Amino acid sequence: MAKVSSVYSPPNSIGKRKLILGLEWWKWLSIGLVLYAIIMGFVGPVPALPILHETIRNLYFHVPMWWGMMVILLVSLIYSIKYLNSGNTKHDIIACESVNVGLLLGMLGLATGSWWAKFTWSFTPLFSLDGWWVNDVRLNGAAITVLIYFAYVVLRNSMDEEQKRAKIAAVYSIFAYVLLIVFLMVLPRLTDSLHPGTGGNPAFGKYDLDSNMRMVFYPAIIGWTLLAVWMMDILVRLRVIRQKILINQFK
């Protein structure tokens, strides 16, 4: 039980956290950046481009979600490796909750991406059932990412014993993440993509993404990533508190 005890020691970070109006500085930064991205995303100037038209505003929402997801999944990978080295339950909780947040962002990214693709890449009527999915490299990569991490959640739920579950889930998560990276690197070589910058399509960076858009796009990425970390932080603290309550019941 020595390993478990590390979770129940008083959380060292909360006392030391410097608060500004009740929140840490990076949380305020996250709120500010996401709000800025949303407001500027809807009212800011965008270049008029064929096919894309006003849907280009989705760039501020869709792409930062993927960024946030990849970052938060990387956090999960790091904490999985840490767990295998330390056996500290808190590392396992962080790895698990990062995946949960990553899955949420992944689902949102899929939804916004599918919505966007419907209006730009497919030529089906607006209310028809088909045309929501185009066979595209990045889309498939995203779908596989979500599938892999749903499998991770199922794997976790199929075991009761905490230590064993944590260890096996960590092993799977490391294995899956490495192969996912391989997949994302290999896939664009196999087929053409509709996405900008691949398969002969021009990249946004070249001329589409003018300086006005960049002023919104980069803050949006940082803001959404911070928001993902914030959500993960809350979930982790909730889990730790729940475990404490559970332990106190049996004292």
Partner 1 sequence: MLLNEIKGLVKREITLEWRQKYALSGILLYVISTVYLCNLSFDRIIDANTWNALFWVILLFASVSAVSKSFIQEREGRLLYLYSITSPQGLILSKIIYNSVLVILMSLICLIFYSGFIGYLVQNFWLFLTALLLGSFGFSAILTLMSAISSKTRGNQTLMAILSFPIQLPLLLTLIALSKKAIEGEVLANCYDLVVILLGIDLIVVVLSYLLFPYLWRD
Nearer to partner 1, 30 or 173 (CB): 173
Tell me if 75 sits within 8 A of 98, measured CB to CB.
Answer: yes
CA 216 to chain CA centroid, Å, is 19
Identify the residue among 65, 103, 176, 229 touching partner 1 (CB under 8 A): 176
Question: Rule CB under 8 A: is residue 179 a binding residue for partner 1?
Answer: yes
Q: Which of residues 184-213 bind partner 1 (CB under 8 A)?
A: 186-187, 189-190
* Partners of residue 23 on adjacent β-strands: 20
Going by C-alpha positions, the residue among 209, 82, 80, 88 that lies closest to residue 149 is 80
Nearer to partner 1, 20 or 154 (CB): 154
Question: Rule CB under 8 A: is residue 175 a binding residue for partner 1?
Answer: yes
Angstrom distance (rounded) from CA 116 to CA 55: 7
Question: Rule CB under 8 A: is residue 107 a binding residue for partner 1?
Answer: no
Nearer to partner 1, 74 or 174 (CB): 174
Tell me if 29 sits within 8 A of 36, measured CB to CB.
Answer: no
Who's near 81: CB < 8 A, 6+ residues apart?
170, 174
Which residues contribute to the site for partner 1 (CB under 8 A)? 84, 144, 147-148, 151, 154-155, 158-159, 164, 167-168, 170-172, 174-176, 178-179, 182-183, 186-187, 189-190
